[in-house]
Structure 1
Amino acid sequence: MADIDFRTGDVLEIFCPFTEARVAGVSAGDVSIRWPWWRNDADVEWIDWNGNVAIAGGPDTPGWSNELFRTEPPAELLQVGADCRVGIPPTVVHVIEVQRFDPPLETGRLPRPHREIVVLTRGVSEDLNAVEQGIGLNPDDDIPLMIRLVFRPYAFLDLGDDVADRHGRAWCFDGPWEWRAYDGQGGTPAWPLTLLTGGDGLGDAKRSATVSTATQTGSHEIEVERWRRAAHAEPPVR
C-alpha cells in the first residue's frame, strides 16, 4: 500500500518488480498475461474475471504510450504458453485525477479499490478536450507497486486552504491548477502568501509560518516551472 495522500499535480516515480507469469493469448495489439496478482471476487456476480490482463503488444501498437507494464522478453516476441516476467521499470508519471470510492468499487477482482489515481507518463500533457486520457492505478492493491513522490507543487498547502496574496486578495487552494479568487476576478495569487484558514476551517500558527517562509521568494510562475521540469509537460489551462 502506498502511504501517500495523492493529489492532482503530483509527480511520481513508479516501479514494480518483475514477476514470473505466463502468456495466455496474443493478438494484433495486445498480449494477455496470466496475471500474477489479484484474486477473483466471487461476490460480484455480474463480472467474471478470467485471471488474464491484456497489456500493449509492443512499441508499434496503439496502446503502448498508455501502458506502464512491460514484459521480459519484450511483448512483441511472446507467444501463447510462453513463460515471461511482467513488471514496471522505474517510470516517472504525473497525476491528473484522484478518484475515491465509498463503498469500494466492484471490478470483479480483489482487493476492491477504494481510490484510484489516473496518471500520464512523463512528457505527456493533459488534454482537457480528450474524452478519456491517462492510466488508472489502484495504489493499494496487491500489485507490489513502489511509488515515490518526486515533486508536489504547492506542497506547503493543503486542499481547501484559504490564503491572502501580496495584494490582499483572498484565494482558495483547490489544487495547483485550481486557484479560486474570492473576488471573482481570476488570475493567480501573487507571492508571498499568508495562510488565513486551513481546509478544516481552522488556523494553525505552525502551518502559517511554513506557508509564509515557503513563499517569501519565488512566485506561482516559478512553482509551475519547477513542475514542468519534473513532469516534462505543460499544466492544464482551466
Structure 2
Amino acid sequence: MLVEWPWRAVDPESANSWDGTVGFPRDPDAYDWRNTPWRVEPETVELGRGDSCFVGIPTTEVQVTAIERFEPPADFGFLPRPVVALEVCPIEYLQDEEAGYVLYLNSDEPIDIEGVRR
C-alpha cells in the first residue's frame, strides 16, 4: 500500500526520482514491519484507494546501530535533503541482521527521540 507522504517534498533538482509516496505492507504480520517505525491506522488491510488514515510511530525502544553524516546533504530525491541519519533497530529484533530502519534527523517528519540509557 502506498501513502502520500506529507512530510517530504519531491526534489525537482535531484538526480534521483521519488514519487512522493511511502510503501507499507498490507499484512501487519509481514516481515517488512521490522524495517519501518511507522504504523497505519486503521490497519492497511481495511484501507482502499483514496481513504484517509493516521500514520505515526508508537513508542519504541531502539538501539542506535550507526550514525551517518552527509556532507553535502544526501540526494535521495526528496526535500529536505538529509544531513544526519540514525540507523536504529528495535530492541526485540537486535538478533535479526535484516531488521532496522533509518531516521533522518533534519526531516519534517513528526519524530520525537528520547535517550533512555547510554
Q: Do Structure 1 and Structure 2 share a fold, with TM-score over 0.5?
A: yes
Q: 2:100 aligns with which of 118, 131, 134?
A: 134
Structure-2 separation of matches of 1:101 and 1:72: 33
TM-score after normalising by structure 2: 0.90
Helix, strand or coil for the counterpart of 1:57? coil
Q: Which runs of 5+ in 2 are unaligned?
A: none
Q: Does 1:58 align with 2:14?
A: no
Q: Does structure 2 retain, via aligned residues, the 8 Å contact 1:57–1:64? A: no
Q: 2:114 aligns with which of 142, 148, 157?
A: 148
Structure-2 separation of matches of 1:68 and 1:57: 15
Structure-2 separation of matches of 1:136 and 1:64: 13
Structure-2 separation of matches of 1:108 and 1:99: 18
TM-score after normalising by structure 1: 0.47
Q: Does 1:119 align with 2:88?
A: yes
Instruction: Give the direction of change, closer, same or farther, for the CA distance of 1:105–1:37 in structure 2 (3 Å limit).
Output: same
Deviation (angstroms), 1:122: 2.2
Report the number of matched residues.
118
Q: Does 1:69 align with 2:38?
A: yes
Counterpart amino acid of residue 64 in structure 1: W
Deviation (angstroms), 1:135: 0.4
Counterpart amino acid of residue 30 in structure 2: T
Structure-2 separation of matches of 1:84 and 1:105: 29
Structure with the higher fraction of residues in strand conformation:
1
Which residue in 2 is equivalent to 1:37? Answer: 7
Structure-2 separation of matches of 1:69 and 1:56: 11
Q: Does structure 2 retain, via aligned residues, the 8 Å contact 1:96–1:126? A: no
Identical-pair percentage: 36
Superposition RMSD on alpha carbons, in Å? 1.6
Q: Does structure 1 retain, via aligned residues, the 8 Å contact 2:83–2:105? A: no
Deviations 1:100-138 (A, max 9, x none): 1111100110011111111111212256xx4x5520110
Q: Does structure 2 retain, via aligned residues, the 8 Å contact 1:56–1:67? A: no
Q: Does structure 2 retain, via aligned residues, the 8 Å contact 1:40–1:49? A: yes
Instruction: Give the direction of change, closer, same or farther, for the CA distance of 1:56–1:68 in structure 2 (3 Å limit).
Output: farther
